[in-house]
Amino acid sequence: MKKKIVVVMLVLAVIVGVTGIWSYHMFYSPAVEDRVTVILREDESYDKMLEKVKSCVAYPMALEIYARHINLDRGIEPGAYTFDEGMNVIAVARTLKFGSENTVRLTINNARTPEILAGKIARQIDADSVAMLGALRSDVLVAELGFDSAEAMFAIFIPNTYEVYADITPDALVRKMKQEYDRFWSSEQRSAQLEALGMTPYEVMVLASIVHEETNATEEMARIAGVYVNRLKRGMPLQADPTLKYAAGDFSIKRVLNRHKEINSPYNTYMYAGLPPTPIAMPDMVAIEGVLNYERHDYLYFCARAEMDGRHNFARTLSEHNRNAEAYHRALNALNVR
């Protein structure tokens, strides 16, 4: 009988020990894999807020248990909460208990339209995408900031990461981006580059948006920008295929055809000389710098390579360009690209 009692006590001791070790592991081991910021909104319930945070930690059950232990269910202050890599669930729960950060790091990049940009911004601040889009398309803001249209105002968004208040309103954010835009272009270096180029900041953003859409090969961007600068100086139409896709409202077009060149639109740079009226996308910093530091050469043409490797062949004469274009079109035909 005594042996049985000893065995039972040993088993219980093992169970208690294992449970204790596992509990300690869940509560004190690193639970946040990568630094993350979570936006908790005023109109969300406690359960909804906690679910958002639980999705970011390795031990959600432990977080829920500790949250009850510190009476977190009495209320979480809405706002932006940043959880650093390596935090355990106790640290996460205490962060929720004692309040949010005042600011968030807002990343602006890679958006072709105001609609896409609105969705990306709304996921990072305390605003919904409808309200954000309303600000991006606000006639009042467009006029206040000195633009002709919402598409033109799109130029103020310089790709970067900005520190903003988590509860900043969409209108205030647009105004802040205009301030950042003005600051970006006000340095002596930028002023000198603009003077040498003979363009305004807005014109650089328009041309950079075309360069950005022309290639993913960043090392080619300054050379492509140089082609367009050469054509602009000679009064030649840009003949930029991405502007035709924009005019057609379809960036999925794989092959630009003659019918696309007949679209009567100010964005048709085959039909109309000069820059289109607004950016056709948000250019990245490589494209912007590519325009400001465009490569000086005498190329007037470029065409995608027949190797279909994402790079281009450049040409000085139309006859040379036509040979490059014929090789590329043969490659498209071989792949049955329509």
For residue range 215-260, what is the model confidence (pLDDT) as tens digits?
Answer: 989 999 999 999 999 999 999 999 999 999 999 998 888 888 889 9
Supply the pLDDT for residue 256: 87
pLDDT band for 1, please (50, 70, 90 cuts): low
Mean pLDDT on 32-36: 89
Most confident of 17-21, 30-34, 205-209, 328-332: 205-209
Sequence spans of domains, the chain: 25-97, 103-185, 188-297
Mean pLDDT on 269-281: 95
pLDDT tens, 85-94? Answer: 999 999 899 8
Alpha-helix residue ranges (DSSP H) falling in 70-200 = 89-97, 114-122, 129-136, 139-144, 150-153, 170-185, 188-197
Supply the pLDDT for residue 4: 54
- The per-residue pLDDT of the chain, averaged, comes to 88
Higher pLDDT, 313 or 4: 313
Alpha-helix residue ranges (DSSP H) falling in 56-159 = 60-69, 89-97, 114-122, 129-136, 139-144, 150-153
pLDDT band for 322, please (50, 70, 90 cuts): very high
| DSSP secondary structure letters along 219-272 | GGHHHHHHHHHHHHHHT-----HHHHHHHHT-TT-SS--HHHHT--STT-TTTS
Higher pLDDT, 126 or 308: 308
Mean pLDDT on 39-51: 87
Rounded to whole angstroms, how far apart are CA atoms 172 and 141? 10
Supply the pLDDT for residue 19: 47
Nearest to 214 by CA among 182, 181, 256, 174: 256
Average the pLDDT over each of 44-53, 121-130, 150-159 and give the range with the smallest value.
121-130
Q: What percent of the chain has pLDDT over 90?
A: 61
Residue 7 has pLDDT above 50, yes or no: no
pLDDT tens, 90-106? Answer: 989 988 887 766 678 89
